[in-house]
Amino acid sequence: MDLEGIGEGIKGFFDSYELFYTKERLSRYESRDLDIYNLELKEEEGIALRGIKNNKMVFSYTFEKGEKALKSLLENSKELIPFVDEDEDYGFPEQAGSYPVLNIYDTEALGLDDSVKKDMVNTMEGTMKSWDSRIMAVRGCELQEAELEIGIINSRGISVKAKKTIYVITGMCIAKDTDEVSWYDWTWSHRLNDLDVKAFGSEVAEKAVSFLGSNQIDTGIYNGILKPRAACDILGIISGSFLAENLFKDKTRLKGKIGEICFSPKIHITDSGINGLDSFPFDGEGSPSQDNIIVKDGIFTSFLYDTYYGKKYKKSSTGNSIRSGIKDLPRCGIRGIYIEKGVQDISGDLPDGGIIIEELIGTHTANPITGEFSLGAIGHLYKNRQMHPFKEVIFSGNVFELLNHVVEIGNDLKFYGNHGSPSLLIEGMKISGR
């Protein structure tokens, strides 16, 4: 799409403007009974406009092209301007000097025949089914391929475009013995060759079998390990606390605490525009992506800003403008927030009577401002040198306090979407069981 041409057509109407172009192609391969059960293809292409006139910002989008796109964007904008409020902090970022070079576009994989990708999904399903005789069913074996192209220009000199690919595999195993259990998991990469479908299938099947014979454990205070998936969920509860938008709206417990020890000295947290699912050379309004250290040695060091909230606090953007899609305004958000990994495997540090929490249930019910949570938990109790699976227990507490009780950090960093964490060894986890 000709962004520059459309930009020329709207120049005289606004004091300043931004055009955002996106083209996305999604392919989904689903296996069932060792054959491709479903093959889905989806494409979407569109352009969005943000225009500022007399400190009023309007937003419009269209799936038209060329002159039709220009006409649609301008007509919608003219209708909206009388109904929006003025705000002197509206604005767009300036042209940047340089952008990071990222290896996130897999040209080779895009050129592969569909049969290769179908075979990967079938192999994953076959690995799960053959892992153990107690695996009675396999569901949701999928490979998703997304190709995304984004371009942004604005009246302050920004003109950027880039592409990326995302590959996601998912699967669920159902195991049955005296009881029936299931385990679902997913993983992703920007490059197809980084996904090992056999290893992933084995891990999902092994985990499902490991939960056969699950029972409740005694109510008590336990020392133990949060595995990466559970730790990512915990981090996700409070990730919004680091955003300048929530500082402005008084929705963060970290207000006024820059420079203070807020977490265990073992904790280092970075929000990165070059790691995680949202990694890209630039953010949702064209500012360069970067690594932002927000917790160092347990000390809270900085909030995260987009252009709008940066202007409100007289700070530079940290590259934290995100977009959910062509139909949504950009907003201040986390990009790829993660707890930095340690140097060694901590699984051997689990004490007798300690627990490993693998999965948390109901994280949407936690309070993202105070950090209070009460969640279902699934995992294993380590006792007498054996692992005993447990379920139907409640793990409760406060995320800020929990992360103050981290005594060691593993080297197994894993990203689940935009959140990443290694295993965390934590003291004093409150469990309500039998």
| CA 11/CA 255 separation, integer angstroms | 40
Query: Beta 372-383 vs 354-361: how paired, if at all?
Result: antiparallel
The owner of tokens 């943000």 is 50
Percent of the chain with pLDDT over 90: 89
Residues 126, 141: contact at Cβ < 8 Å?
Answer: no
Beta bridge partners of 171: 185
Which ranges constitute the DSSP H helices of 60-196?
66-80, 107-110, 114-130
Q: Which amino acid is at 420?
A: G
In this prediction, residue 5 carries a pLDDT of 84
| Residue 141 pLDDT | 95
Q: What is the mean pLDDT of residues 190-199?
A: 97
Determine the pLDDT at residue 33: 84
Please write the tens of the pLDDT for every residue from 132-187.
Answer: 999 999 999 999 999 999 999 999 999 999 999 999 999 999 999 989 999 999 99
| Statement: residue 48 has pLDDT above 70 | yes
Higher local confidence (pLDDT), 35 or 146: 146
Are 266 and 299 within 8 A, CB to CB? no
Percentages helix, strand, coil for the chain, rounded to the nearest 5?
Answer: 25, 40, 35
* Nearby residues of 386 by Cβ (< 8 Å), 6 or more positions away: none
Q: Rounded mean pLDDT of 391-408?
A: 97
Confirm if 332 and 242 have CB atoms less than 8 A apart: no
In the chain, the amino acid numbered 25 is: R
Q: Which of 3-12, 95-104, 364-373 bottoms out in mean pLDDT, i.e. has the lowest?
A: 3-12
H helix or E strand, kind and range, residue 56:
strand 56-62
The tokens describing 147, both together, are 């190709």
Cβ(292)–Cβ(318) below 8 Å: yes
User: What average pLDDT does range 236-262 have in this prediction?
Assistant: 97
Looking at residue 322, its pLDDT comes to 97
Q: Is the pLDDT of residue 193 over 60?
A: yes
Q: Is the pTM of this model over 0.85?
A: yes
The pLDDT assigned to 66 comes to 84
Question: If you write DSSP's letter for every residue of 328-357 in order, what string do you get?
Answer: S--EE--SSEEEPP-SS--GGGPPTTEEEE
What string of DSSP letters covers 165-191? EEEEEEEEEEEESSSEEEEEEEEEESS
Calculate the average pLDDT of the chain.
95
More confident residue, 81 or 36: 81
For CATH 3.30.2290.10, list the domain ranges present in the chain: 3-207
pLDDT of residue 1: 56
Q: For 331-357, what is the mean pLDDT?
A: 95
Which CATH code is given to the segment(s) 3-207?
A: 3.30.2290.10
Strands, E, within 155-268: which ranges?
A: 159-176, 180-189, 220-226
Quickly count: other Cβ atoms within 10 Å of residue 349's Cβ: 15
Task: Answer whether 387's CB lies under 8 Å from 210's CB.
Answer: yes
pLDDT band at 100 (very low <50, low <70, confident <90, very high): very high
Say what percent of the chain tops pLDDT 70: 100
Quick one: average pLDDT of 252-268?
97
Any idea which of 94-98, 303-307, 357-361, 392-396 has the lowest mean pLDDT?
94-98
First to last CA, the chain: 62
Look at residue 36 in the predicted model and tell me its pLDDT: 76
Using an 8 Å Cβ cutoff, are 304 and 318 in contact? yes
Whole-number pLDDT of residue 118: 92
Burial 289-318, CB ≥16 within 10 A → b, else e: bbebebbbebbbbbbbbbbbbbbbeeeebb
pLDDT tens, position by position, 275-311: 999 999 999 999 999 999 999 999 999 999 999 999 9
Q: What is the pLDDT of residues 354-367, one digit of tens each?
A: 999 999 999 999 99
- How far is Cα 270 from Cα 267, in angstroms, rounded to an integer? 10
Contacts of 156 (CB under 8 A, 6+ apart): 16, 92, 93, 94, 95
The stretch 206-228 carries a mean pLDDT of 96
Q: Compute the half-sphere exposure of residue 87: CA atoms within 13 Å on the CB side of its CA.
A: 13
**Residue-level pLDDT at 170:** 97
